[in-house]
């Protein structure tokens, strides 16, 4: 892994330390978090309350959800009584639509969208658009391997390194975007090399996989 990708993983961990927060959970809650990620990938939905109850032998479901949401490991649904998503996937509407294991689900940002394939070593189809021009962007991948990219292989990922609010999905994630080509990426970056980074698709995949895959590990 090159130093720029390692640096990006460290920088994101400083702003959104998901693995550190997961490790600090009681084992039962960490298992719920991993099971939620797996459910989103395999079924296109998070665990429901009945499934959560079965995993939480002694813990109250609402107490467990409050802890996970308080740590920003999950995003609650609009009713506040269940899970909408867990980084990198969500059932909330976003610009980044995924087909994973023949199920439809959304990604919270461009980096998240590229992370699901390598996380689960599975086929993923991404439908998104350029943040600047609105041009459709479609990516087919298997694991960490790109198979099809349109409108061109020059599609770039831009990250604006802002500090997240209480919910990164509704703040930081909005500034991790697809850009249709390198010239559009430079236009988006506007010379701000300190607060933004640009990644080729392959580097963005390595970045996302390095950040998210540890969440599946004990």
Return the domain boundaries, the chain. 92-206
92-206 fold: Beta-Lactamase (3.30.450)
With H, G, I as helix, E, B as strand and everything else as coil, classify residue 9.
helix
- CA pair distance 98, 101, nearest whole angstrom: 10
Q: Tokens 């995949």 belong to which residue?
A: 205
- Please tell me the predicted confidence (pLDDT) of residue 164: 85
Strand blocks (E) in the chain: 75-76, 83-86, 89-90, 96-100, 103-107, 123-129, 136-142, 145-150, 156-160, 176-179, 196-200
By percentage, how much of the chain surpasses pLDDT 70?
98
pLDDT band at residue 58 using 50, 70 and 90 as cut-offs: low
Residue 63's Cβ-count burial label (10 Å; 0-12, 13-18, 19+) is exposed
- Please tell me the predicted confidence (pLDDT) of residue 165: 79
- CA pair distance 143, 121, nearest whole angstrom: 4
- CA pair distance 141, 212, nearest whole angstrom: 17
Asked whether residue 1 carries a pLDDT value surpassing 60, the answer given is no
- Please tell me the predicted confidence (pLDDT) of residue 170: 87
Across the range 63-80, mean pLDDT stands at 94
Q: Which two tokens stand for residue 139?
A: 């990516």
> 146-182 burial by CB neighbour count: b if 16+ within 10 A, else e?
beebeeeeebbbbbebeebeeebbeebbbbbbbbbbe
Instruction: Reply yes or no: is the peptide bond before residue 151 cis, omega within 30 of 0.
Output: yes
**Model pTM?**
0.95
pLDDT band at residue 57 using 50, 70 and 90 as cut-offs: confident
Distances (CA, A) of 176 to 102, 132, 159, 193, 198: 25, 12, 4, 15, 10
- CA pair distance 214, 217, nearest whole angstrom: 5
Residues 6+ apart with CB under 8 A from 4: 197, 203
Q: What pLDDT, in 10s, does the model give residues 122-132?
A: 999 999 999 99
């Amino acid at each position: 892994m090159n130093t720029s990708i390692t640096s990006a993983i460290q920088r994101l961990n400083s702003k959104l330390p998901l693995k550190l927060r997961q490790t600090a959970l009681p084992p039962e809650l960490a298992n719920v978090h991993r099971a939620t990620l797996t459910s989103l990938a395999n079924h296109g939905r998070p665990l429901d309350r009945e499934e959560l109850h079965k995993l939480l032998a002694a813990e109250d479901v609402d107490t467990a959800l409050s802890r996970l949401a308080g740590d920003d490991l999950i995003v609650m649904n609009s009713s506040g009584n269940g899970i909408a998503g867990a980084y990198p996937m969500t059932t909330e509407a976003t610009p980044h639509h995924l087909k994973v294991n023949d199920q439809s689900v959304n990604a919270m940002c461009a980096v998240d969208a590229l992370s699901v394939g390598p996380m689960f070593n599975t086929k993923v189809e991404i439908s998104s658009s350029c943040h600047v021009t609105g041009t459709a962007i479609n990516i087919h991948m298997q694991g960490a391997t790109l198979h099809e990219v349109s409108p061109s292989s020059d599609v770039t990922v831009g990250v604006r390194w802002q500090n997240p609010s209480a919910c990164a999905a509704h703040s930081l994630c909005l500034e991790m975007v697809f850009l249709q080509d390198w010239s559009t990426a430079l236009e988006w970056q506007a010379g701000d090399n300190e607060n933004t980074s640009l990644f080729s698709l392959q580097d963005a995949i390595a970045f996302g996989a390095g950040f998210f895959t540890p969440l599946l590990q004990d």
